[in-house]
Chains A and B, each alone.
Chain A
Amino acid sequence: QKEVEQNSGPLSVPEGAIASLNCTYSDRGSQSFFWYRQYSGKSPELIMSIYSNGDKEDGRFTAQLNKASQYVSLLIRDSQPSDSATYLCAVGLTGGGNKLTFGTGTQLKVEL
């Protein structure tokens, strides 16, 4: 079982719609959760971090964390073509020595 799982996609949404990206993790003691965006050929860029259950909003982005279900999601409102990228979920594992474990990423395509 992979430690951090994401659907590889591609997830296609029309411009202006809400994109919902999901991630599950296996270590119940995980404490820190991150969403990164990676454009093709570029390095990852931090979008959101979340540490406690519930929602965290930043502009068009909302991260949701449910530790009981071991589930973290990212909602992108009013999706734009520039949001088309691969979104990486990263989890800080208990006793991981400061390391993050990344999912394989979900490719998002926002269509005109």
Chain B
Amino acid sequence: GAVVSQHPSWVICKSGTSVKIECRSLDFQATTMFWYRQFPKQSLMLMATSNEGSKATYEQGVEKDKFLINHASLTLSTLTVTSAHPEDSSFYICSARDFSRTGGETQYFGPGTRLLVL
């Protein structure tokens, strides 16, 4: 149980294009999902909290117009990196909270999406 998937697992794109990453909770409903970014040799950095049916909450320093988040259903959140540039190249990881389990704060992570912008 508590499986989270991400698609695609990796993507290479040209500078200036937009990339959409999907995060799905496969066996539970997630009213809240989180998007993280991790650069090499660094820890996870929370980008935003995605809430089903409402606007995402972005962390300080994260451009909401550049990183568009949509949480249209209880099992799907998407992150779109708009007009991607080489500095956006990173490992993007989503997580989801499973409230049905004991300890509703537990976050289960997807496998991550590696983005390379040329």
Contacts and interface: CB of A to CB of B under 8 A. Distances in A.
On chain B, which size bracket covers the interface?
Answer: 10 to 19
A36 B46 CA distance: 15
Count class of interface residues, chain A: 20 to 34
Contacts of B111: 42-43
A44 B106 contact: no
B109 A99 contact: no
B34 A99 contact: yes
A88 B44 contact: yes
Interface stretch (A19-27, A65-73, A75-83, A102-110): A102-110
Interface in A54-112: 88, 90, 92, 97-105
Interface string A23-37: 000000001101010
B43 A100 contact: no
Given A43-B93, A43-B111, A46-B108, A104 B43 contact: yes
Given A32-B103, A51-B103, A98 B44 contact: no
Nearest to A6: B43
A93 B107 CA distance: 14
B97 interface: yes
B49 A44 contact: no
Given A99-B34, A99-B49, A44 B44 contact: yes
Nearest to A51: B103
A100 B103 contact: no
A98 B48 CA distance: 12
Interface string B94-118: 0001000001011111111000000
B43 A98 contact: no
Contacts of A34: 106-107
A45 B105 CA distance: 15
Contacts of B49: 97-99
9 contacts: A32-B103, A36-B109, A43-B109, A46-B108, A49-B105, A51-B103, A100-B46, A103-B43, A104-B42
Interface of B: 32, 34, 42-44, 46, 49, 57, 93, 97, 103, 105-112
